[in-house]
């Protein structure tokens, strides 16, 4: 391969293994100055590992990294930073209690000359303001604020400003829009445009295909540790990318199926969540998937948590098949056959340091007790877990693997398996496909279909409008703790959902 | 036909992968056992009295009290908590047992029930304080009860010891079956039960779940409060049982018994591989931790090392063991991706 | 994986049992005949602690005897006087080294009985007595006499009807109790009124607080007797801070107390003879080992230290360091 003089970064033949697990099998990639280069691939394709090699966190086993035409070795994160590579991770790295300028200069606090260890605040503030202004922000307004008090979008901008202060030439962004509101996402796109004008290159990792179309220049697709192809974004389509990503053609992104509309299976009447101003009521029939759309902070998660008994509710009645159920704790909900698949699987759904069979049977242990000795039947536990692993096609060698070692999509499947194991009838999904790849998403959708077909109730909270429009039969919209719209799918559009979500 | 072939190759790769990893995993998993073995070798070479039946029986006898306290401590640490009051519980339960059997003169069985009862009750209080008062961390609640318990133990007789316990209680501390101390057999039985409890019962798994991720446990329908109360009550029972053995061994109960014993218990549990963050740890790991500390103390005694220097050595071992655990954690996190 | 673990444990355990059984047989034969061909006798001494000056003097006396009599002396003790169980463990571990004789200063008399009962070697107690089968003698000062002597020392300077205060050690400590008893009886027999008697747990700071409190209600006392020197010095501080002039007598004979006497602080102290205790312990054990009869109770004696002989006493203490 000839070296293109406009190439800022070139990677050749990068290989990496962990014990016997070969994660990267020879990656070739190039990034031009000032381009937004998207990295696309299923979970487990090797994106995170590649990034960690580029930022000096992991050493590579083989291959070359060429920066501005010179081969370099990245032995630790400092090497990468000195070169001019900065990373914005999904879980932000700010110190919440410190001010914006303190975060921007974290670890590199500047001392006034001649005065020992007296920090030169004025200099740092001015620098911070300059960097923030370059990103189109009002630097003076932000510079002294406590980072913890800023919104997610602004916190992310602080991190980008930090990268500017470090004179970054390449900024790697790992799924930066997954926790941002619509406005914040637009703001980020504008900032990216500004960065491009400054000739800063960006490696952008995302699962959102529309996003790639919006800001990407080129997209490189990884699959199973191989680099498949690098394509120009303008002249290619998401379907092409998906095909290369998944290795098979996906005829349906959203495998919607129509089922027979049945009786009412689940009803919630006048639930008052703590801090809400009005009670909420809705019902779900057999045969339909109901979605709840809305902005971040609309109160959707609070609603389902209150239904589930995880948070207290001040009043409200819950009916399954017309019979009223008293729910005062998650245990009551589970006994009644309700399942809550939470939005944060790592912190609320899984025990990362326990094996898969433990995780899968965690909520239904009482079904595995040997009557004679009151002891758990570990053989049956293992067998059931293996059945679920196979049924849901979780990528693992055995059920003894600790949950920590699975990719995001597979972890989500384990959480779903946990709830299937409780023989639930009412499934409440909260952002079920967040942070998982296209292939796994389809599997989750198919699962929802199977659940409905088998006579279960399915409710889905989602902030991805395409997902709502693609999979639901009816859309509830929430805004500030109230249901503001109940739209059958034939009449639902992005516009009327957004209108109800923003209260306009 | 091809499915069968596929199945076979999957099995083969499974076996291959497992045996490949086993050497590295072996060392990190069995590191503490190896350390114990090395200590044995070292002391056998340094003192001819070490590797005798009498001395080995001394070691297990001397270790029996910490073994029981450490078991209770293991449960607390598994739930990402801690029990600083184990020493005070031991003192209070044995003092009251002595009052019941010596001062009041009741039947020794009542004394045993008293010790276990007081310990269990005290543990229950620990659990209730933590869960009902929503104190931020068991460090605070058990530190408070640590002082309260010690104060109560001193008040019982105004700081004086009570001697002359009934034979049945002395039996717990001094009886031998052949060369093997009864206390060792008792501790062994308790350990076996606890192992079965933690690995094979619903509540045992719930303990791991609460420690691994409290919120996930709660949202899976586990009654977190009930689990925590159970854990601290069991810790109290262990302290009560340890109190019986201790007073039986020296034929007296004294208010300063068990002073600072929580330190050895915490050390044993951590050396044994449990994590302060909860959710990780085993009964047999704790057993090894207990043995390492007991062997160290005994071996250093046989070398006539001054008690002050012994403290320094044991402190160094604790730091070393925890550091190995840190390395283990780091390796685990690195392999995450 | 778990099976491998269990197998390993079983293998290790059985090999250890096997090795130790062989070893045990070995030592048993040498035990009786002492065919180790050593010229030296081995004596073990377990004290309440090695972390205080008092017990360091005992250790010094024992080691001195060891040197002079050609005996190998091992002195051990837990880090503090509250570590009852650790002392018991230390006794056991000393016994497993098969010494020729054992001297013990039990932290609590009852706790060592079961460990020492009927053991087949010459044993004796120092400083604090205990009742176990096989104990040949108790070497210590008479605590009752110590208190009595201290009181007598003060009474020489007091008149009938004068008021005094007493500061005692921790409750339940038999040595302290005896001293207090001895002093109180002597005071009362001579018509001296003991208007206050408080425990201060053998602690200097506590004694100071206790003394301050006593002075609040009884500023007219003429003398104070303290169960040990630390408390005496604490009490003296409180007295000096109140600007009063009261005679204070302590017990133990520590360097700090003696220095205070020289400077005109404490009036006097009743010193036990810890060095002698240590020396006598080794000497008597050696005699017993050699088959001689020894006295069932050995009084190690008391020293009265006042301004007259304080300098001399200080010299003596320094010579032991």
DSSP result, A429-493: EESTTTT--HHHHHHHHHHHHHHHHTT-EEEEE-S-HHHHHHH-SEEEEEETTEEEEEEEGGG--
Whether A397 sits inside 8 A of B332 (CB atoms) is no
Interface test with B, best of C110, C112, C206 (most B CBs within 10 A): C110
**Closest chain B residue by Cα to residue A348:** B216
Q: 0.95 cut: is pTM over it?
A: no
The residues pairing with A15 across neighbouring beta strands, listed in sequence order, are A25, A62
pLDDT at A254 (0 to 100): 83
Put simply, the chain B residues between 130 and 189 with a CB less than 8 A from any chain C CB are: 157-161, 163-164, 170, 173-174
For A21-36, what is the mean pLDDT?
Answer: 89
Cα–Cα distance measured from residue A221 to residue A238, given in angstroms and rounded to the nearest whole number: 11
Q: Which residue has the higher pLDDT, B99 or A1?
A: B99
* pLDDT winner (highest mean) among A234-238, B8-12, C102-106, C203-207: C102-106
Measured CA to CA in angstroms, residue C123 lies from A348, A397, C34, C105, C283 at distances of: 65, 67, 19, 11, 12
Question: What residue spans of A55-110 are helical by DSSP H?
Answer: 77-83, 100-104
Q: Which residue has the higher pLDDT, A180 or A430?
A: A430
Token representation of residue B288: 């090894």
Predicted confidence (pLDDT) at residue C36 exceeds the cutoff of 70 = no
Which chains form contacts with chain B, at 3 or more CB pairs under 8 Å?
Answer: A, C
Measured CA to CA in angstroms, residue A243 lies from A223, B331, C178 at distances of: 11, 36, 95
Whether B337 sits inside 8 A of A18 (CB atoms) is yes
Provide the pLDDT confidence category of residue A1 given band limits of 50, 70 and 90: very low
Predicted confidence (pLDDT) at residue C174 exceeds the cutoff of 90 = no
pLDDT at B93 (0 to 100): 97
Collapsing DSSP to helix, strand or coil, C12 comes out as helix
pLDDT at A44 (0 to 100): 66
For B299-328, what is the mean pLDDT?
Answer: 83
Collapsing DSSP to helix, strand or coil, C55 comes out as helix
pLDDT tens digit string along A448-462?
A: 999 999 999 999 999
Sole residue written with tokens 């991190």:
A159
Predicted confidence (pLDDT) at residue B333 exceeds the cutoff of 80 = no
* Minimal C-alpha gap between B4 and chain C (Å): 27
Token representation of residue B265: 């218990």
Q: What's the mean per-residue pLDDT of chain A?
A: 87
pLDDT cut 70: percent of chain A above it: 95
Whether A375 sits inside 8 A of B200 (CB atoms) is yes
pLDDT tens digit string along A308-365?
A: 999 988 889 999 999 999 999 999 999 999 999 998 888 889 999 899 999 999 999 9
What are residue A76's phi and psi, to 5 degrees?
-155, 165
pLDDT cut 90: percent of chain B above it: 63
pLDDT at A453 (0 to 100): 93
pLDDT cut 70: percent of chain B above it: 88
Predicted confidence (pLDDT) at residue A120 exceeds the cutoff of 80 = no
Nearest residue, CB atoms, A362 vs list B201, B209, B332: B209
Q: Which residue has the higher pLDDT, C202 or C271?
A: C271
pLDDT at A64 (0 to 100): 92
Predicted confidence (pLDDT) at residue B218 exceeds the cutoff of 80 = yes
Nearest residue, CB atoms, C171 vs list B51, B158, B246: B158
Q: Which residue has the higher pLDDT, B65 or A315?
A: B65
User: Are A126 and A201 spatial neighbours (Cβ–Cβ below 8 Å)?
Assistant: no
Closest of B321, B236, B309, B210 to residue B271, by C-alpha: B321
Cα–Cα distance measured from residue B306 to residue B303, given in angstroms and rounded to the nearest whole number: 9
Q: Provide the 10 A C-beta neighbour count for residue A481.
A: 20
Q: Which residue has the higher pLDDT, C42 or A6?
A: C42
H/E element, C190: none
As a three-state string, the secondary structure of chain B is: CHHHHHHHHHHHHHHHHHHHHHHHHHHHHHHHHHHHHHHHHHHHHHCCCCCCHHHHHHHHHHHHHHHHHHHHHHHHHHCCCCCCCHHHHHHHHHHHHHHHHHHCCCCHHHHHHHHHHHHHHHHHHHHHHHHHCCCCCHHHHHHHHHHHHHHHHHHHHCCCCEECCCHHHHHHHHCEECCEEHHHHHHHHHHHHHHHHHHHCHHHHHHHHHHHCHHHHHHCCCCHHHHHHHHHHHHHHHHHHHHHHHHHHHCEECCCCCCCHHHHHHHHHHHCCCCCCCCCCCHHHHHHHHHHHHHHHHHHHHCCCCHHHHHHHHHHHHHHHHHHHHHHHHHHHHCCC
Predicted confidence (pLDDT) at residue C44 exceeds the cutoff of 70 = yes
pLDDT tens digit string along A355-380?
A: 999 999 999 998 998 888 889 999 99
Cα–Cα distance measured from residue A218 to residue B327, given in angstroms and rounded to the nearest whole number: 41
Whether B20 sits inside 8 A of A378 (CB atoms) is no
Q: What's the mean per-residue pLDDT of chain C?
A: 86
ipTM of the complex: 0.79
Cα–Cα distance measured from residue C215 to residue C197, given in angstroms and rounded to the nearest whole number: 12
Residues of chain B in contact with residue C79, where contact means CB-CB under 8 angstroms, are: 307-308, 311
pLDDT at C155 (0 to 100): 93
Put simply, the chain B residues between 20 and 39 with a CB less than 8 A from any chain A CB are: 20-21, 24
Cα–Cα distance measured from residue A44 to residue A31, given in angstroms and rounded to the nearest whole number: 22
Whether C12 sits inside 8 A of B52 (CB atoms) is no
pLDDT at B1 (0 to 100): 39
Residues of chain B in contact with residue C109, where contact means CB-CB under 8 angstroms, are: 163
Provide the pLDDT confidence category of residue C22 given band limits of 50, 70 and 90: low
Burial class (CB in 10 A: 0-12, 13-18, 19+), B192: exposed
A284 Cβ partners below 8 Å, 6+ apart? Answer: A264, A265, A266, A267, A290, A426, A457, A458, A459
Whether A330 sits inside 8 A of B218 (CB atoms) is yes
Residues of chain B in contact with residue A414, where contact means CB-CB under 8 angstroms, are: none
* Minimal C-alpha gap between B63 and chain A (Å): 30
- Cα A342 to the chain's mean position, in Å? 13
**Closest chain B residue by Cα to residue C116:** B250
Predicted confidence (pLDDT) at residue C113 exceeds the cutoff of 50 = yes
Put simply, the chain C residues between 146 and 175 with a CB less than 8 A from any chain B CB are: 170-172
Nearest residue, CB atoms, B215 vs list A52, A348, A397: A348
For A132-155, what is the mean pLDDT?
Answer: 84
pLDDT at C25 (0 to 100): 46
Provide the pLDDT confidence category of residue C32 given band limits of 50, 70 and 90: very low
Strands A218-223 and A226-232: what pairing? antiparallel
Predicted confidence (pLDDT) at residue B17 exceeds the cutoff of 60 = no
Sole residue written with tokens 């020894």:
C294
Range scoring the smallest mean pLDDT among A250-254, B248-252, C140-144: A250-254
Cα–Cα distance measured from residue B224 to residue B209, given in angstroms and rounded to the nearest whole number: 9
Cα–Cα distance measured from residue B276 to residue B269, given in angstroms and rounded to the nearest whole number: 10
pLDDT at A247 (0 to 100): 67
For A223-238, what is the mean pLDDT?
Answer: 89
Provide the pLDDT confidence category of residue B27 given band limits of 50, 70 and 90: low
Predicted confidence (pLDDT) at residue C201 exceeds the cutoff of 70 = yes
Predicted confidence (pLDDT) at residue A229 exceeds the cutoff of 70 = yes
pLDDT at A118 (0 to 100): 62
What are residue B163's phi and psi, to 5 degrees?
-115, 170
Collapsing DSSP to helix, strand or coil, A14 comes out as strand
Nearest residue, CB atoms, B311 vs list C9, C21, C79: C79
Predicted confidence (pLDDT) at residue C30 exceeds the cutoff of 80 = no
Provide the pLDDT confidence category of residue B307 given band limits of 50, 70 and 90: confident
Interface test with C, best of B27, B304, B312, B313 (most C CBs within 10 A): B304
Q: Which residue has the higher pLDDT, B261 or B7?
A: B261
pLDDT tens digit string along C52-107?
A: 778 888 999 999 999 999 999 999 999 888 888 999 999 999 999 999 999 999 98
């Amino acid at each position: 391969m000839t070296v293109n003089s406009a190439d800022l970064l070139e990677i050749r033949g990068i290989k990496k293994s962990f014990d016997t697990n070969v994660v990267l099998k020879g990656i070739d990639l190039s990034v031009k100055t000032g381009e937004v280069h998207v990295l696309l691939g299923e979970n487990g394709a090797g994106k995170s590992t590649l990034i960690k090699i580029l930022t000096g966190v992991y050493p590579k086993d083989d291959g070359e990294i060429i920066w501005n035409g010179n081969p370099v070795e990245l032995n630790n994160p400092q090497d990468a930073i000195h070169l001019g590579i900065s990373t914005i991770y999904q879980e932000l790295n700010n110190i919440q209690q410190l001010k914006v300028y303190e975060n921007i200069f974290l670890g590199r606090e500047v001392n006034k000359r001649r005065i020992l260890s007296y920090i030169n605040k004025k200099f740092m503030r001015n620098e911070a303001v300059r960097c923030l202004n370059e990103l189109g922000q009002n630097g003076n307004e932000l510079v002294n604020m406590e980072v913890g008090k800023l919104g997610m979008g602004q916190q992310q901008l602080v991190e980008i400003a930090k990268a500017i202060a470090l004179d970054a030439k390449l900024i790697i962004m790992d799924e930066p829009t997954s926790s941002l509101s619509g406005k914040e996402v637009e703001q980020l796109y504008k900032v990216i445009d500004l960065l491009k004008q400054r000739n800063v290159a960006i490696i952008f990792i995302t699962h959102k295909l529309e996003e790639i179309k919006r800001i990407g220049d080129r997209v490189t697709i990884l699959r199973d540790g191989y680099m498949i192809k690098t394509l120009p974004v303008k002249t290619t389509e998401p379907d092409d990318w998906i095909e290369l990503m998944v290795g098979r053609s996906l005829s349906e992104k959203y495998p919607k199926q129509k089922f027979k509309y049945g009786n009412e299976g689940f009803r919630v009447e006048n639930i008052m969540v703590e801090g809400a101003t009005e009670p909420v009521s809705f019902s779900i029939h057999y045969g339909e998937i109901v979605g709840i759309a809305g902005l971040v902070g609309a109160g959707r998660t609070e609603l389902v948590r209150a239904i589930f008994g995880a948070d207290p509710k001040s009043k409200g009645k819950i009916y399954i098949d017309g019979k009223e159920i008293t729910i005062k704790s998650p245990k009551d909900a589970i006994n009644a056959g309700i399942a809550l698949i939470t939005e944060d699987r790592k912190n609320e759904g899984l025990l990362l340091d326990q094996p898969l069979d433990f995780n899968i049977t965690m909520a239904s242990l009482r079904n595995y007790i040997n009557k004679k000795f009151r002891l758990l039947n570990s053989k049956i536990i293992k067998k059931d877990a293996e059945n679920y692993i196979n049924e849901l096609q979780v990528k693992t060698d055995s059920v003894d693997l600790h949950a920590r070692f699975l990719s995001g999509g597979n972890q989500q499947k384990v959480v779903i398996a946990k709830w299937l194991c409780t023989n639930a009838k009412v499934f409440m999904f909260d952002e079920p496909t967040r942070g998982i790849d296209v292939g796994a998403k389809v599997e989750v959708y198919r699962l929802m279909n199977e659940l409905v077909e088998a006579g279960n109730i399915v409710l889905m909270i989602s902030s991805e409008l395409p997902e709502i429009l693609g999979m639901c039969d009816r859309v509830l919209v929430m805004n500030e703790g109230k249901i503001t719209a109940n739209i059958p799918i034939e009449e639902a559009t992005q516009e009327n959902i957004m209108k109800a979500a923003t209260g306009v | 036909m091809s499915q069968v072939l596929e199945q076979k190759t999957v099995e083969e790769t499974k076996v291959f992968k497992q045996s490949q990893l086993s050497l590295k995993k072996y060392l990190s998993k069995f590191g503490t056992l190896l350390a114990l073995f090395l200590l044995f070798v070292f002391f056998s070479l340094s003192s001819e009295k070490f590797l005798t039946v009498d001395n080995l029986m001394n070691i297990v006898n001397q270790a029996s009290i910490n073994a029981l306290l450490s078991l209770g401590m293991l449960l607390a640490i598994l739930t990402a908590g801690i029990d600083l009051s184990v020493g005070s519980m031991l003192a209070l339960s044995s003092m009251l047992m002595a009052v019941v059997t010596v001062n009041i003169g009741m039947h020794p069985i009542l004394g045993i029930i008293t010790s276990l009862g007081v310990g269990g009750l005290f543990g229950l209080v620990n659990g209730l304080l933590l869960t009902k008062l929503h104190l931020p961390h068991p460090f605070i609640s058990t530190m408070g009860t640590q002082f309260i318990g010690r104060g109560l133990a001193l008040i019982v007789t105004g700081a004086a010891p009570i001697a002359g316990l009934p034979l049945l209680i002395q039996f717990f501390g001094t009886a031998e079956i052949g060369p093997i101390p009864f206390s060792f057999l008792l501790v062994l039985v308790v350990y076996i039960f606890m192992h079965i409890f933690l690995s094979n019962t619903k509540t045992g798994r719930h303990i791991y779940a609460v420690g691994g991720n409290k919120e996930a446990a709660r949202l899976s329908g586990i009654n977190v409060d009930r689990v925590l109360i159970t854990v601290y009550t069991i810790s109290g029972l262990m302290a009560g049982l340890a109190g019986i053995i201790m007073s039986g061994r020296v034929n007296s109960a004294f208010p300063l018994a068990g002073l600072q014993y929580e330190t050895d218990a915490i050390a044993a549990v951590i050396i044994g591989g449990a994590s302060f963050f909860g959710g990780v740890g085993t009964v047999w790991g704790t057993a090894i931790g207990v043995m390492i500390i007991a062997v160290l103390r005994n071996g250093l005694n046989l070398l006539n090392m001054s008690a002050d220097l012994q403290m320094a050595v044991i402190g160094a071992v604790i730091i070393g063991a925890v550091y190995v655990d840190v390395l283990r954690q780091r390796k685990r996190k690195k392999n995450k991706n | 994986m778990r099976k491998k673990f269990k197998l390993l444990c079983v293998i290790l355990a059985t090999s250890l049992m096997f090795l130790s059984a062989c070893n045990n047989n070995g030592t048993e034969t040498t035990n009786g005949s002492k065919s180790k061909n050593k010229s030296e006798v081995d004596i073990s001494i377990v004290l309440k602690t090695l972390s205080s000056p008092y017990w360091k003097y005992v250790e010094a006396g024992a080691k001195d005897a060891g040197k002079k009599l050609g005996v190998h002396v091992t002195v051990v003790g837990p880090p503090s006087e509250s570590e009852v169980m650790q002392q018991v463990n230390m006794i056991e571990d000393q016994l497993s080294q098969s010494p020729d004789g054992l001297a013990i200063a039990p932290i609590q008399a009852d706790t060592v009985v079961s460990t020492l009962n009927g053991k087949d070697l010459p044993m004796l107690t120092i400083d604090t007595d205990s009742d176990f089968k096989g104990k040949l003698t108790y070497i210590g000062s008479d605590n009752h006499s110590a208190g009595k002597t201290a009181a007598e020392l003060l009474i020489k300077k007091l008149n009938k009807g004068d008021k005094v205060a007493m500061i005692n050690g921790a409750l339940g400590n038999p040595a302290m109790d005896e001293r207090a008893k001895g002093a109180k009886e002597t005071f009362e027999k001579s018509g001296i009124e003991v208007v206050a008697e408080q425990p201060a747990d053998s602690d200097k700071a506590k004694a100071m607080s206790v003394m301050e409190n006593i002075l609040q209600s009884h500023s007219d006392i003429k003398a104070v007797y303290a169960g040990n020197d630390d408390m005496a010095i604490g009490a003296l501080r409180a007295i000096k801070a109140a600007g009063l002039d009261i005679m204070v007598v302590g017990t133990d004979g520590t360097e700090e107390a003696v220095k205070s006497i020289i400077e005109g602080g404490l009036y006097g102290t009743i010193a036990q003879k810890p060095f002698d205790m240590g020396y006598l312990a080794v000497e008597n054990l050696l005699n017993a080992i050699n088959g001689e009869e020894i006295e069932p109770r050995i009084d190690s004696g008391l020293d009265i230290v006042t301004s007259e002989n304080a300098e001399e006493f200080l010299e003596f203490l320094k010579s032991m360091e």
